[in-house]
Amino acid sequence: MDQEGLYTPKKPEEISTLEISGKSKAAILLIFLGPDTSGAILQSLSDNEIEALTIEIAKQRKITTEDKLAVLFEFEQMMMARKFYSEGGLEYAKHLLEKTVGPGKTLEILAKMGTSLQIQPFEAARTADPTQIATLIQNEHPQTVALILAYLQPAKSAVILQSMTPDTQVEIAKRLALMDRTSPEITKEIENYLEERLSSIIGQDFTSVGGIDSLIGVLNAVERATEKNIIETMEVQEPSLAEEVKKRLFVFEDVVLIDDRSLQRLLKDIDMKDLPVALKGATDEVKEKFFKNMSKRAAEMLKEEMTYMGPVRMRDVDQAQQRIVGIVKKLETAGEVVISRPGEEELIG
């Protein structure tokens, strides 16, 4: 209240969030962002994290304006700190924050960030143009390239992998899949070579990196031609490794592993402009899988369209198939599609 008895709201920076738990802050932020944005965020979290946050959101019966403003203001400050940090490292972030919010508030913000501001290997490379990185490491040993790709985002690693020759792609893929641990000294040496401004590794323990999961992430992002070359060559050179990768990697031909009910669910989300193009490059088994799960009339119309559309570029076929594969993965994650992969136990209805 002011002297005249009127309520004067506090400024966001004047409100403390000390009494609000971290889980509650996350719940308040998700509520404020709305269902679409919050849903996208939740998809990136683990099942346990989603469950915990969902319960916390349900518990937020009434959120005061002051709490909402405090949480949003803290979130804004932390995002600003992360932006400064990603642009130039911890010292750069500290310097800009001090100019923006003052030394005292800077220490408070950095303290809240905690270990999340620790410098990770190849941090600068993660924000760099992948084509520039590809040019820089084009002639490096496949093991060196595999180590770098293991630390980068799959989409960037895909760009770099696609820039290599077919034989080199396979070598890098094999080494990435078989990679388990690497010493910080070796990583630091490669890191410093790649980019002078990259930060040093924190800690001296051996760090888990690479592995089949890393390779799957990269293969899911590369063009189909690159993926097929790697898998086919790996089948000859490393058959057991190729088999393990194939079990985890869904490709368009694997639609035959989807049960009929799931395929009918898939058909609801597929763009019907993509399907005839995708099937132009498919095996008879794949085509028949789709035809038998459509009405007789719809299947006839699809066959006619494929006949009359004439030759189709392989690139267009690959892109159409990849879009459908993307839908399959999304539906499988949501539990709406069941894929009976080889080696997995059969489901009993």
User: Taking 80 as the threshold, does the pLDDT of residue 330 lie above it?
Assistant: yes
State the amino acid at position 193 in one-letter form. Y
User: Taking 80 as the threshold, does the pLDDT of residue 234 lie above it?
Assistant: yes
Residue 41 · residue 33 · CB < 8 Å: yes
The CA R_g of the chain, rounded to the nearest whole Å, is 25
Percent over 90 (pLDDT), the chain: 14
Least confident span in 5-14, 16-25, 253-262:
5-14
pLDDT at 236: 87
User: Taking 50 as the threshold, does the pLDDT of residue 203 lie above it?
Assistant: no
40 half-sphere exposure, CB direction, 13 A CA radius: 4
User: Taking 70 as the threshold, does the pLDDT of residue 85 lie above it?
Assistant: no
User: Taking 90 as the threshold, does the pLDDT of residue 292 lie above it?
Assistant: yes
Residues in the chain: 349
| Residue 304: other Cβ atoms inside 10 A | 11
Cα angle for residues 191, 194, 199 (degrees, 5° grid) = 40
Structure-token pair, residue 225: 């031609």
Instruction: Give the pLDDT confidence of 161-174 residue by residue, as tens digits.
Output: 999 999 999 999 99
Q: Report the candidate in 89, 80, 85 with the shortest Cα–Cα distance to residue 13.
A: 80
Residue 281 phi, psi (nearest 5): -105, 15
For the 124-248 domain, the top CATH level (class) is mainly alpha
Task: Give a three-class secondary structure readout of the chain.
Answer: CCCCCCCCCCCHHHCCCCCCCHHHHHHHHHHHHCHHHHHHHHCCCCHHHHHHHHHHHHHCCCCCHHHHHHHHHHHHHHHHHHHHHHHHCHHHHHHHHHHHHCHHHHHHHHHHHHHHHCCCCCHHHHCCCHHHHHHHHCCCCHHHHHHHHHHCCHHHHHHHHHCCCHHHHHHHHHHHHHCCEECHHHHHHHHHHHCCCCCCCCCCCCEECCCHHHHHHHHCCCCHHHHHHHHHHHHHHCHHHHHHHHHHCCCHHHHHHECHHHHHHHHHHCCCCHHHHHHHCCCHHHHHHHHHCCCHHHHHHHHHHHHHCCCCCHHHHHHHHHHHHHHHHHHHHCCCCCECCCCCCCCCC
pLDDT at 291: 94
Least confident span in 6-10, 112-116, 307-311, 332-336:
6-10
Per-residue b or e along 265-286, where b marks 16 or more CB atoms closer than 10 Å to that residue's CB = bbeeebeeebbbbbbbbbeeeb
- Higher-confidence position of 86 and 329: 329
Residue 80 · residue 23 · CB < 8 Å: no
114 falls in which pLDDT band (50, 70, 90)? low
Do the strands 181-182 and 207-208 form a parallel or antiparallel pair, or are they unpaired?
antiparallel
115 falls in which pLDDT band (50, 70, 90)? very low
Residue 299 · residue 276 · CB < 8 Å: no
Give the end-to-end CA distance of the chain in Å, rounded to a whole number.
64
Cβ neighbours for 231, distance < 8 A, ≥ 6 positions apart: 219, 242, 245, 246, 249
pLDDT at 204: 35
Residue 250 · residue 217 · CB < 8 Å: no
Could you check whether 124-248 and 252-333 share the same CATH topology? yes
Structure-token pair, residue 174: 């094999």
Residue 161 · residue 173 · CB < 8 Å: yes
pLDDT at 195: 65
Determine the Cα–Cα distance for residues 172 and 300; give it in Å rounded to an integer.
44
Mean pLDDT of the chain: 76
Domain ranges of the chain: 12-117, 124-248, 252-333
Least confident span in 107-121, 175-189, 210-224:
107-121
Q: Which CATH number among 3.20.20.80, 3.10.20.30, 3.40.1190.20, 1.10.220.30 corresponds to the domain 252-333? A: 1.10.220.30
Query: What pTM did the predictor assign?
Result: 0.41
